[in-house]
Amino acid sequence: MGIISLRNRILFMTLGLIVLLGVIVVIFVKTELTKALLFDLQDKGISLTKHLADISVNDILTENRLRLQMQINDYKESTREIKYIFIHDKKGKVLVHTFRKGFPSDLNKINEVKPGEEYSIQSIIADKEAILDIAVPILKGETGVVHAGFSEEPLNLTVDKKVRFLVGIIIVILFIGNGAAILFTSAITKPIYNLTKTAEQVSIGNLEQKAMVTTGDEIGRLGITFNKMIDELKNDRGKIKEYTESLEEMIRKVSASREELDRTNKKLQIANKELIKSNEELDEFTYVVSHDLKEPLRGIGAFSGFLRQKYRDKLDEKGKHYIDIILDSSERMRRLIDDLLKLSRISYGETPFEYTNVSYILNEVKDNLSYALESKKCVLEIPDDLPTVYCDSTRIREVFHNLIINAIKYNDKDKPHIEIGYNGHNDHYTFHVKDNGIGIEEKYFDKIFHIFQRLERDDKEGTGAGLTIVKRIIYKHGGRVWVESKVGEGTTIFFTIPKNKRRI
Ligand SMILES: Nc1ncnc2c1ncn2[C@@H]1O[C@H](COP(=O)(O)OP(=O)(O)O)[C@@H](O)[C@H]1O
Ligand SMILES: [Mg+2]
């Protein structure tokens, strides 16, 4: 189906329309003409038959059948349309007729005139011919009735002739219409055909083709618009090519840097694994070394103790002082080694995770620290509704212990005050231990979490490992620790514990 079918469609439509109109006109003309001619025939027939009735009265009354017969014979001869005449009396008995072969019985009692009627008309078929029978009563029917049959044949012939003429005209119109339609359709379809050819070329990507513009009408304008569209398409295609090229370039670069990133990531993962491994090895080493160091240290402590006890008298003041220093130092060294052991155990030894209520942990811590709290008249505030968390409860107890003991220790106020709190708005709980103590300068916020890092203090008990242990434990739970503090006002240490089960 192409442009040809459009042309054929227009042709078929035009011809079909002409044929349809022609048929309608022919039918209309034929019926109207038949009606009019029939009307004429009736008119003429009635007046002829009436005249015949008038002139027959005398002959009937005088019963002069011969004259009557002659009269009707003459009458029939003189009028071409009359096929037959017959007169019957009141009772229906045929008096005279013009049938050469005798009166046909099927015409008996046809087209009867009702009393009071001037005439009666009936279409019949006699001798295979359409006949209009007109009956007129003579002296109001008292004497008889005249029947005259008028042939409808001439009428039909006339109608047929006229219709044939009309059909001829229609055929001529059909030919003229056909020619006009061909001219008309090719005038419209040719530019459309050209346009379609161009569109087909464009659709397969050939933008070099242009539509032919031959007229200034709508089709011409369509051609101009189409050509503009082709130009824009060409333009766009150029731009798209540029974009595609730069996009491809970008994709190349991105994939190159992604590969680079992947390589770096892999290296990082390897390095990370190695780091974890060497950390574990370090922890193991620390554990073993600390453990082994304790033995000679115990020896130093014990023998220094013996020295002080047994040879006290033999030593002068200086000697005693040196031994005290040795004892103090070995004690301090024991504490340092203990802390190192604790720290290495966090990742070295595994302890079970379980659901534990933080209130339970804090009550234990509070009991353990009751002496320290009381001796400094320190108020420790613990909320009632603490959550249950999935944790290594021994370690979390250590965390709270270390933080609370710091809050007690590093406090110079008359009424030391410690407050525990939490919030659970996110996917983790954030706990805090807040005090109104001496505070920490911002520049030390990082340093205090490093092992054995202490700010200048008089306190001889501490080793500087407490916060490092806290940090390590919280890290093992998948959380983080940070500090907020103002010198002279107080310190708050925050740490998080994830809500869903997690352990590192
Ligand atoms: N609540 C606090 N208020 C003020 N300073 C603190 C507080 N907690 C810790 N610090 C400072 O951080 C240092 C490190 O703390 P920590 O690791 O617990 O070691 P230690 O308590 O043994 O000295 C402490 O020496 C102290 O100077
Ligand atoms: Mg401490």
| Domain-embedded: residue 319 | no
Q: Among residues of the chain, what percentage have pLDDT more than 70?
A: 97
pLDDT at 349 exceeding the cut of 80: no
Residue, of 105 and 363, whose pLDDT is higher: 363
Q: Whose CA is nearest to atom 24 of ligand 1?
A: 454
| Domain-embedded: residue 47 | yes
List the one residue out of 442, 422, 424 whose CA is nearest residue 432. 422
How long is the chain? 504
3-state secondary structure 433-482: EEECCCCCCHHHCCHHHCCCCCCCCCCCCCCCCHHHHHHHHHHHCCCCEE
Residue ending a domain, choose from 158, 173, 188: 173
How high is the pLDDT of residue 502? 61
pLDDT at 1 exceeding the cut of 50: no
The one-letter amino acid code at 476 reads K
Say whether 146 sits in a helix, a strand or coil: strand
Q: What is the pLDDT of residues 314-331, one digit of tens each?
A: 888 999 999 999 999 999
How high is the pLDDT of residue 406? 96
Pocket test for ligand 1, best of 400, 402, 406, 460 (most atoms within 8 A of CB): 406
How high is the pLDDT of residue 480? 95
pLDDT at 425 exceeding the cut of 90: no
Residue, of 364 and 227, whose pLDDT is higher: 364
CB 250 within 8 A of CB 223: no
List the one residue out of 39, 57, 76 whose CA is nearest residue 137. 57
Return d(Cα 440, Cα 438) in angstroms, integer.
7
Say whether 364 sits in a helix, a strand or coil: helix
Return d(Cα 335, Cα 117) in angstroms, integer.
153
> Per-residue pLDDT averaged across 12-19, rounded?
85
How high is the pLDDT of residue 135? 94
Residue ending a domain, choose from 143, 173, 203: 173
Q: What is the pLDDT of residues 231-274, one digit of tens each?
A: 898 899 899 999 999 999 999 999 999 999 999 999 999 999 99
What would the two tokens of residue 167 be?
């059909």
Q: What is the pLDDT of residues 452-483, one digit of tens each?
A: 888 866 667 788 999 999 999 999 899 999 99
Q: Distance between alpha carbon 140 and the CA centroid of its chain, in Å?
A: 92
Ranked by mean pLDDT, the top range of 145-159, 178-192, 426-440 is 426-440
Residue 402 DSSP class: H
What's this model's pTM, rounded to 2 decimal places? 0.54
Expressed in angstroms and rounded, the spacing between residue 342 Cα and the centre of ligand 2 is 14
Return d(Cα 257, Cα 155) in angstroms, integer.
104
How high is the pLDDT of residue 187? 75
Rg (CA), the chain: 66
Q: What is the pLDDT of residues 172-188, one digit of tens each?
A: 988 888 888 788 777 77
Q: Lowest-confidence range among 138-147, 182-191, 200-209, 254-263?
A: 182-191
| End-to-end C-alpha distance for the chain, whole angstroms | 74
The answer to whether the CB of 448 is under 6 A from ligand 1 is yes
Residue 190 DSSP class: H
CB hemisphere CA count around 140 (13 angstroms):
2
Domain of 9, CATH number, reads 3.30.450.20
Return d(Cα 459, Cα 410) in angstroms, integer.
9
Expressed in angstroms and rounded, the spacing between residue 449 Cα and the centre of ligand 1 is 9
Ranked by mean pLDDT, the top range of 120-124, 138-142, 203-207 is 120-124
Residue 415 DSSP class: S
| Domain-embedded: residue 156 | yes
How high is the pLDDT of residue 206? 83
Expressed in angstroms and rounded, the spacing between residue 399 Cα and the centre of ligand 2 is 10
User: Which residues, chain by chain, have CB under 5 Å from ion ligand 2?
Assistant: 406, 462, 466
Closest ligand 1 atom, residue 449 Cα: 17
> Per-residue pLDDT averaged across 20-43, rounded?
90
Model confidence at 5, in pLDDT bands (50, 70, 90)? low
Say whether 147 sits in a helix, a strand or coil: strand
Closest ligand 1 atom, residue 463 Cα: 22
How high is the pLDDT of residue 208? 83
How many Cβ atoms are within 10 Å of 38's Cβ, its own excluded? 19
Residue ending a domain, choose from 149, 173, 197: 173
List the one residue out of 405, 413, 462, 404 whose CA is nearest residue 433. 404
- Spatial neighbors of 368 by CB under 8 A, at least 6 apart, are 401
Return d(Cα 302, Cα 304) in angstroms, integer.
6
Q: What is the pLDDT of residues 391-423, one digit of tens each?
A: 999 999 999 999 999 999 999 999 999 999 999
Q: Lowest-confidence range among 25-29, 87-91, 350-354, 357-361?
A: 350-354
- DSSP letters, 37-50, are HHHHHHHHHHHHHH
Return d(Cα 241, Cα 252) in angstroms, integer.
16
Q: Which residues span the domain enclosing 481?
A: 351-498
| Domain-embedded: residue 283 | no
List the one residue out of 120, 57, 45 whose CA is nearest residue 85. 45
| Domain-embedded: residue 259 | no
> Per-residue pLDDT averaged across 347-355, rounded?
76
Return d(Cα 83, Cα 148) in angstroms, integer.
8
Domain of 493, CATH number, reads 3.30.565.10
> Per-residue pLDDT averaged across 21-45, rounded?
90
> Per-residue pLDDT averaged across 25-35, rounded?
90
**Number of domains into which the chain is organized:** 2
Q: Please report, to the nearest 10 degrees, the dihedral formed by the alpha carbons of residues 190, 194, 195, 198 taken in order.
A: 170
Q: Which ligand is nearest to the CA of 407?
A: 1
| Domain-embedded: residue 399 | yes
Report long-range pairs for 86-95 (Cβ below 8 Å, ≥24 apart).
86/146, 86/147, 87/56, 87/60, 87/138, 87/144, 87/145, 87/146, 87/147, 88/144, 88/145, 88/147, 89/143, 89/144, 90/141, 90/142, 90/143, 90/144, 95/60, 95/65, 95/68, 95/144
Q: Percent helix, strand, coil in the chain (nearest 5)?
A: 60, 15, 25
pLDDT mean across residues, the chain: 89
The answer to whether the CB of 470 is under 6 A from ligand 1 is no
Model confidence at 300, in pLDDT bands (50, 70, 90)? very high
Residue 127's alpha-carbon distances to 14, 122, 133, 149, in angstroms, are 45, 16, 13, 12
| Domain-embedded: residue 388 | yes
| Domain-embedded: residue 203 | no
